[in-house]
Structure 1
Amino acid sequence: MIKGILFDLDGVLLSTDQFHFQAWKALADRLAIPFDRRQGDRCRGISRMESLDIVLENSTRTYTPEEKLQFAEEKNHAYRAFLQGLTPADVPEETVRVLTQLRIRGYRLALASGSKNAELILEKTGLCSLLDGVVDGRDITRSKPDPEVFCKAAQALGLSPRDCVGVDDASAGVQSIRAAGALAAAIGPAAQAGEGDWNLKSLSQLLERCPGMEAVLCR
C-alpha cells in the first residue's frame, strides 16, 4: 500500500531547466565550445560533473580536474544568481493543488533531489511548507541512477521505499526509483519514453492513482 510519495524537484514540481541551460551555455560560450539545446536536455537528472562532461565533449582541448572543478563552480554561481529571482509565483498552480490534496488524503510527501541547490529553491518558492521531508544533494554521496536519494527520502518519512511511489522526469531518476524498490511514476520525457510503472501526462494524474487513505484501507 502506498503511504508516501517521493518527488524529484526540477522538471517535476517546477522547472528551472532554462536557468541550467543559460548557465551552461554562458560557460560554453566563454570557452568557445558549441553547446545546444539537445546537449542541454542530456544534462537533465544527472550530476553537475557529469553535465560538465557533456558541455566539454566538443572542446578541442582537455582540461585538468582542477579546471573542471572551477568550471562547475562558475556554472553553479551563474545558476544560483538566476534562482535568487524565484518566488512562490514560479510554482505551477497544479503543483500546489496536487501536493495539498495528497496531504489531505493522508500521504506523506518528501523531496528526493540530487541538487545541492534544492534548499535555495524551496526557500524562495515556499515549497518546503508542502513537504514532510527533504533529501537533496547535500545528503547523498551517489547521484542518480543510484537509489540512495530515494532510499533516504523514504527513510525521512519513516517508511520503506516499497511503501512509496517516486516521481521523476529523467531516465536516471526512474532507474533510481526502481533500484530503491519503490513504484516508479514517470513524467515528462521519461513518461513519453514509457519508462515508468506509471507514465503520467501531468502531475494531476497522481490524484487519479492515489485515492484517500480511507478508500485504500477499505479495499
Structure 2
Amino acid sequence: MVKFTDIKGFVFDLDGVITDTSRYHAQAWGQLADKLGVEYPGLGDAVKGISRMDALEMILKKGGLAGNYSAAEKEALAAEKNANYVQLIQNMSAKDILPGMADFLADLKAKGYGISLASASKNAPTILAKIGLSDYFTKAVDPATLQYGKPDPEIFVKAAQLLDLMPAQCIGLEDAAAGIAGINAAGETSVGIGDAELLHDAAINFTETSQVTLANIEKAMND
C-alpha cells in the first residue's frame, strides 16, 4: 500500500480537472451539426469524453448521413469542428479555472512536488496559456507521441517519466472512468473528481474540485 509520504509527483488531466472545456466542445460540435442540418438535443453530454472522429460519426449517424461522406471529407469536417473550438477557446481566461485548482497547484509547487500534464488534447498548451497556468505545466505529455488512448496507461506512465519518478510515486487526477482505469493500470494512485458511482474504481474520490487539497488527500490515504 502506497503511503502519502511516498508521493513525489502529481499527474493532471486537463478537462474537468483544471478547467471545463466541455461546453466549448459542445458549442463547436453544435455549429457543425447545424451546418449539416442535424438536430441533436443533448449534444454536450453525448460528445463528452469521446474522440473527435467518434463524435463526428455519432452526429452523422443521428442525421442519417453516415454513408454520405468519404474518409477525407470526414477528416475535413472534424478539422472544421476543431477550428470552431479553437476560435471559442480564445475567450478563455483565469475565470475558467475550476474552483480550488489554482490554490492546489500553488501549494504543490511551494512544497516541491513534481507536476505534469496527461491530456490527450492538442489544444492543451493554448488553454493553459489562456487561463494563466502554463508555468505549472512545463512537463506535459505530447499527444502526438501516444500510440494508445485512455484507458491505456501509456499517457500516465509517460507523465511520470517526465518527472523522473516511478508511477508508484505519483498521484493521478481524472474526472472520467477511462482516465481512472489508465491511472490504476499505470500503477499510480488515482483521484477521481465527480460522481463516485461512475468513478468507483478511483482510490480516492472528491465530488468537487474545491475539495482537492493536500490535506484531504493525505487524510484519505491514511484512513
TM-score range, shorter chain: 0.7 to 0.9
2:32 is aligned to: 27
1:198 is aligned to: 204
Q: How large is the Cα RMSD of the aligned pairs? A: 2.1
Structure 2 alignment gaps of length 5 or more: 1-5
Percent of aligned positions with the same letter in both sequences?
A: 40
Residue 59 of structure 2 corresponds to residue 55 of structure 1: yes
> Would the aligned equivalents of 1:111 and 1:153 in 2 still touch at CA under 8 Å?
yes
Amino acid at match of 2:54: E
| Equivalent-residue separation in structure 2 for 1:98 and 1:59 (angstroms) | 43
1:88 is aligned to: 94
Counterpart of 1:113 in 2: which secondary structure? Answer: coil
Q: Deviations over 1:136-160 (max 9, x none)?
A: 4233232211212111111111112
| Equivalent-residue separation in structure 2 for 1:93 and 1:60 (angstroms) | 41
TM-score by length of 2: 0.85
1:13 is aligned to: 18
Q: Deviations over 1:51-89 (max 9, x none)?
A: 222323313132321121111101000000011111233
TM-score by length of 1: 0.87
Q: Deviations over 1:11-63 (max 9, x none)?
A: 110111110000011111211223232x4324333322222223233131323
Structure 1 alignment gaps of length 5 or more: none
> Would the aligned equivalents of 1:146 and 1:176 in 2 still touch at CA under 8 Å?
yes
Detail structure 1 runs of 4+ shifted over 3 Å in the superposition.
none
> Would the aligned equivalents of 1:187 and 1:202 in 2 still touch at CA under 8 Å?
yes
Please point out which of 99, 103, 106 is paired with 1:100: 106
2:215 is aligned to: 208
2:3 is aligned to: none
Give the Å deviation of 1:171: 1.5
The change in CA–CA distance for 1:144 and 1:185 in structure 2 (over 3 A counts) is same
Give the Å deviation of 1:192: 4.4
Q: Deviations over 1:89-133 (max 9, x none)?
A: 322451110111122233211110010100111121221112351
The change in CA–CA distance for 1:74 and 1:25 in structure 2 (over 3 A counts) is same
Counterpart of 1:135 in 2: which secondary structure? Answer: coil
> Would the aligned equivalents of 1:192 and 1:199 in 2 still touch at CA under 8 Å?
no
The change in CA–CA distance for 1:133 and 1:92 in structure 2 (over 3 A counts) is same
> Would the aligned equivalents of 1:46 and 1:144 in 2 still touch at CA under 8 Å?
no
The change in CA–CA distance for 1:19 and 1:180 in structure 2 (over 3 A counts) is same
> Would the aligned equivalents of 1:45 and 1:171 in 2 still touch at CA under 8 Å?
no
Amino acid at match of 2:125: E
> Would the aligned equivalents of 1:45 and 1:173 in 2 still touch at CA under 8 Å?
no
Counterpart of 1:133 in 2: which secondary structure? Answer: coil
Counterpart of 2:79 in 1: which secondary structure? Answer: helix
